[in-house]
């Protein structure tokens, strides 16, 4: 079963604190923020939990930040320092309000700082188990309020629909956020089960998370499942017949589930949405939709091209009047905001982590970074709460993992 596994390598109170932090960012904070946006007490609780986690695991953070053991960590630290300096600069020149520093401090700086706390984290099963368990809860809440599914449980569906501030009739959303967030956590969970989980419930969980990815209607998340299957076929230490049968069984289970549920739910609508989403897929059209955001140079001043126009200038979080936002073009946004220097640090960081994973044979991390890099072509995954925290925490936890560098049994 998926769930929290108590780990003896860290003290119980630290595990409780970490669990509270994960519950807050995956349930409490987004829920309260939907009911009462910009709640001071809600933000204060998050800040206190972030600070508590930092103090609890400051020793690995200190080691990671003062004595980085790989080029990826060096680039990450450099990128953190650069965007902090860039934010100060944009405030100094009036591009953003002084309050922006605190906004980006919570959404961008804090996740990068916490990265160092989880490098080589000894209680990986506890951490991942908690994340997967909270993901399951969010998916279930999303399903019972998914209008296109036609599922209406008296009292329950209406109750949770009130918790989801802006339910989407055509995509799976939940307390944790929009379909992009639910879809990303679902495909992460799917890949984790596919690569590591061998218990008898394996196919049930693959079906559950695969179905959630399908209902998110996020094409980049569908691509994440395809990428996971490709890596599984190449690297899994099982016979080829087992690999093919696993993929066939998973696909068949999803198809049977759709047909079975179609007898009691409005799955005609679901099937139509899936087919329409597949038919409209065209990479050129997708990039054309984002053409107005994909501006490589918003200025011809050589100094601004080098150092950028200020971190956060083109972010939707910027409260100052700005005629251009770049929410669906993260690479272009980073280039314009932080310049060639910041862009090189960011891309170099991802490339260094990927090369390290390849050298160590850590297949799951290879999938994780490849999927992240591809998704960033058209989605602000690293800027969506709570993915801004979760992606970096998981990346740090896996980076120095030497126990499970390959998938499935030896």
Strand extents, DSSP E, 298-362: none
What pLDDT score does 92 carry? 80
Q: In the chain, what are the domain boundaries?
A: 75-115+294-410
Tokens of 125: 């099963």
pLDDT exceeds cutoff 60 at 7: no
| Burial (0-12, 13-18, 19+ Cβ within 10 Å), 396 | buried
Question: Distance between CA 389 and CA 110 in Å, rounded?
Answer: 8
Q: If we measure between CA atoms, which residue out of 326, 312, 303 comes closest to residue 83? A: 312
Examine the pLDDT at 136 and tell me if it is beyond 90: yes
Mean predicted lDDT score pLDDT of the chain? 77
* Mean pLDDT of the region 256-270: 56
pLDDT digits (tens, 9 = 90+) for 94-110: 777 777 777 777 788 88
Q: Which whole number is the average pLDDT over 161-174?
A: 66
User: What pLDDT digit, counting tens, does each position of 319-332 carry?
Assistant: 555 555 555 678 88
Question: pLDDT tens, 211-244?
Answer: 888 888 888 898 899 999 888 888 877 777 777 8
Q: What is the pLDDT at residue 352?
A: 92
Each residue of 313-359: pLDDT tens digit?
A: 776 666 555 555 555 678 888 888 888 999 999 999 999 999 988 88
The Cα 94–Cα 96 span in angstroms is 5
Using only C-alpha atoms, what is the Rg of the chain?
A: 21
Give the pLDDT band of residue 294 (cuts 50, 70, 90): very low
CB distance 407 to 363 below 8 Å: yes
The pTM is what?
A: 0.83
CA distance 184 to 180: 6
Lowest mean pLDDT among 124-128, 186-190, 236-240, 369-373: 236-240
- Confidence band (pLDDT; 50, 70, 90) for 1? very low
Statement: residue 374 has pLDDT above 60:
yes
Residue 379 is predicted with a pLDDT of 80
């Amino acid at each position: 079963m998926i769930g929290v596994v108590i780990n003896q390598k860290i003290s119980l109170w630290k595990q409780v604190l970490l669990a509270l932090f994960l519950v807050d960012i995956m349930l409490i904070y987004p829920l309260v923020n939907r009911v009462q946006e910009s709640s001071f007490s809600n933000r204060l609780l998050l800040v206190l939990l972030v600070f508590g986690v930092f103090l609890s695991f400051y020793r690995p953070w200190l080691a990671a930040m003062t004595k980085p053991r790989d080029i990826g960590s060096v680039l990450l630290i450099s990128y953190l320092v650069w965007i902090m300096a860039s934010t100060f600069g944009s405030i100094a020149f009036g591009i953003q309000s002084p309050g922006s520093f605190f906004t980006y401090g919570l959404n961008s700086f804090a996740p990068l700082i916490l990265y160092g706390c989880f490098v080589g984290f000894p209680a990986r099963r506890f951490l991942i188990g908690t994340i997967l368990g909270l993901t399951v809860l969010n998916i279930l809440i999303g399903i019972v309020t998914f209008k296109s599914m036609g599922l209406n449980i008296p009292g329950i569906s209406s109750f949770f629909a009130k918790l989801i501030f802006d339910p989407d009739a055509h995509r799976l959303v939940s307390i944790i956020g929009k379909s992009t967030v639910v879809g990303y956590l679902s495909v992460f969970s799917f890949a984790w089960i596919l690569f590591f989980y061998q218990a008898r419930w394996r196919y049930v969980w693959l079906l559950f998370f695969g179905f959630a990815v399908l209902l998110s209607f996020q094409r980049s998340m569908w691509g994440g499942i395809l990428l996971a299957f490709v890596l599984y076929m190449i690297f899994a230490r099982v016979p080829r017949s087992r690999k093919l049968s696993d993929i066939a069984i998973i696909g068949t289970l999803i198809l049977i589930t759709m047909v079975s549920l179609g007898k009691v739910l409005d799955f005609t609508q679901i099937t139509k949405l899936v087919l329409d989403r597949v038919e409209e897929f065209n990479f050129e059209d997708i990039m054309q939709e984002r053409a107005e955001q994909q501006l490589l140079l918003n200025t011809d001043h050589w100094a601004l091209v080098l150092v950028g126009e200020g971190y956060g200038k083109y972010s939707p979080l910027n409260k100052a009047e700005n005629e251009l936002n770049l929410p669906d073009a993260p690479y272009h946004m980073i280039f314009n905001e932080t310049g060639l220097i910041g862009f090189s640090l960011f891309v170099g960081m991802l490339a260094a982590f990927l090369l390290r994973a390849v050298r160590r044979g850590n297949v799951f991390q290879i999938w994780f970074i490849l999927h992240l890099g591809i998704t960033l072509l058209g989605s602000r995954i690293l800027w969506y709460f709570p993915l801004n925290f979760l992606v970096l925490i998981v990346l740090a936890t896996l980076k120095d993992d030497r126990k499970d560098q390959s998938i499935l049994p030896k």
